[in-house]
Chains A and B, each alone.
Chain A
């Protein structure tokens, strides 16, 4: 579990832990990582941890993770709303965290995975069409979607599945600044959806909840002359 302290990753990990699975948690903050590990152990999981900044040294990390059955890639950042459209360094950090680091990690990790393994990566509906409010974030997720699609094709022969998980709005620390609407899902709902998609043997793009696929179809179908005037 890469980015194991993310709210969505924790929700999925709780289900796996309660099944008694063996989990390796990777995250940057040692105190938060320890809190998550204690929780998952109490729930019944066998848990190991690795403190690692996922934006650094992909090769060193891959050398330590072995060959897991499931890789949940959950690191990500939305970016500071006051900086992401003005500060190119911040925009680059978003791309590095959400796209470049996952790409580096998966490039090294994918060949090591056994047949039947599953890569489940958290993307977002924001990758489907660029919006003014989340420019760099949307671009990073669009890039991630494209890479996951390529990886899915590439790994067909080796029997490794690639899930692109696309939640809509989720009530997590990442979205703390956004006003909560009826469209928001809980991390537990999304975590449950992830585990179901992995269990069901899917090898596809999965919207969470499923109806975001319809919303995004409609949004993608809007002509540019209409879309560019929208304020959402």
Chain B
């Protein structure tokens, strides 16, 4: 069964077409179809219940790299991890990385992902120079930032056609290490003060928050690439089978232990880039810790600290609560999620109606505050919330390929 990372909702696909070659690539004659890369988005934006999936994992070839300009061209199924494995030893890094390296380039574009350096670098899409889009009319369109179709495709959730290749501008780094500081804080005021102080001086900033602690304690992480000798991460482990252990009690224990461990580890550390950016990638299939019913992510952006405070009042117990203040850069895609304000992400085990009701309360607070929800993390938002989150929706709709669709798209537009 092909799933999203949250394993909710489930979907049945009438066909899964494995793509291997750009040359002679022919889309199915009948839709609805949708590209599926690594299945790392959480809800249903990578699913197409009752339709077809175009699996892009076989489109995994590099095309060219210019070490002078840092421009890398590759097929859409290449993963960010593969790019980093090849390019870090050459002194290059991706301009923007999300919380896992196991996503495809096509997925990174279709969700216009962001990372810990949003305040400096903006979204992934801001660093994409060209891409090729295959439309269901058989035309392959090579497009760039000046094209409307390109702006629709960044963050376009795979609905504008199939991305076959893309060109991304990499950045130079001193090799392999990250100087990282982990600073304990309590309360949003301290979080905002740390953001003010750090966003100007550090490339990467993000905070983990213990939502179950009354004092709203957390750890603020900030870091920069530096030269230095650091050990490569140990071999990864994996969760072998469904093992539902995430509940209110284990979250309480985990959060306390995580907070203590971060304090113990010391404020300033030299770390390998892999565990700094992708701590969860060390544990394969960690989504199995939520059991067969899966879990829901909730990620929103709200413009004010007051709204963020109100959200935290009604936040359910979550082991992975992440806070970041987005930068001022305008996102390049018509449906890009990042915008100025505070973004909050949490993971909640799927307990059916109870969970849906909790998320609906959070959704209401976000809408009240004039914020937005992130489609890549969503399984529940209403049609109304989607329209209010993305004011350029009508413009975007004109660029949707008639043979492409997704479970998410049907849910929020019908």
Contacts and interface: CB of A to CB of B under 8 A. Distances in A.
A43 B22 contact: no
B22 A35 contact: yes
Interface string A25-45: 000010110011011011100
A98 B58 CA distance: 24
A42 B65 contact: yes
Given A18-B86, A43-B86, A176-B18, A38 B24 contact: no
A170 interface: no
A7 interface: yes
A41 B62 CA distance: 9
Given A18-B86, A43-B86, A38 B62 contact: yes
B23 to A, nearest CB: 4
Interface residues of B, number: 14
Given A18-B86, A43-B86, A32 B63 contact: no
B61 A38 contact: yes
Nearest to A44: B86
Contact of B64 (A36, A42, A173, A176): A42
Nearest to A10: B61
B18 A35 contact: no
Nearest to A42: B62
B20 interface: yes
B119 to A, nearest CB: 31
A32 B21 contact: yes
Contacts of A35: 21-23, 61, 63
Interface string A1-40: 0000001000000000010000000000101100110110
Nearest to B86: A43
A7 B61 CA distance: 11
B64 A38 contact: yes
Contacts of B63: 35, 38-39, 42
Contact of A43 (B20, B24, B58, B62): B62
Interface residue tally on A, bucketed by range:
10 to 19
A39 B75 CA distance: 10
Nearest to B21: A32
Given A18-B86, A43-B86, A173 B62 contact: no
A7 B20 contact: yes
Overall SS of chain A's interface: helix
A35 B18 CA distance: 17
A29 B74 CA distance: 20
B86 A173 contact: no
Contact of B24 (A7, A31, A36, A41): A31
A38 B63 CA distance: 5
Interface string B46-84: 000000000000100111110000000010000000000
Contact of A39 (B18, B23, B61): B61
A39 B24 CA distance: 18
Interface centre among A36, A38, A43, A173 (most CB of B within 10 A): A38
Interface in A186-215: none
Given A38-B64, A39-B61, A29 B18 contact: no
B61 A36 contact: yes
Interface string A139-180: 000000000000000000000000000000000010010000
Nearest to B18: A176
B126 to A, nearest CB: 23
B165 to A, nearest CB: 10
Contacts of A39: 61-63
A161 B62 CA distance: 32
A32 B23 contact: yes
Contact of B23 (A18, A31, A173): A31
Interface in B113-140: none
A176 B19 CA distance: 10
B56 to A, nearest CB: 14
B364 to A, nearest CB: 43
A80 to B, nearest CB: 18
A69 to B, nearest CB: 24
Nearest to A39: B61
Interface string B275-299: 0000000000000000000000000
Interface in B1-26: 18, 20-24
Contacts of A43: 62, 86
B16 to A, nearest CB: 10
Contacts of B58: 7, 173
Nearest to A173: B20
A32 B24 CA distance: 9
Nearest to B74: A42
Nearest to B59: A35
Contacts of A38: 61-64
Interface in B180-237: none
Contacts of B64: 38, 41-42
Interface string B19-39: 011111000000000000000
Contacts of A42: 62-65, 74, 86
A171 to B, nearest CB: 9
A63 B378 CA distance: 60
A36 B23 CA distance: 11
A179 B282 CA distance: 30
A29 B22 CA distance: 13
A39 B86 CA distance: 12
Contacts of B20: 7, 173
A7 B58 CA distance: 9
5 contacts: A7-B20, A29-B23, A31-B24, A35-B63, A39-B63
Interface of A: 7, 18, 29, 31-32, 35-36, 38-39, 41-43, 173, 176
Top 7 closest A-B pairs, CB basis?
Answer: A31-B23, A42-B62, A39-B61, A39-B62, A42-B65, A173-B20, A38-B63
Given A35-B23, A39-B61, 10 more contacts: A31-B23, A32-B21, A35-B61, A38-B63, A39-B62, A39-B63, A41-B64, A42-B63, A42-B65, A176-B18
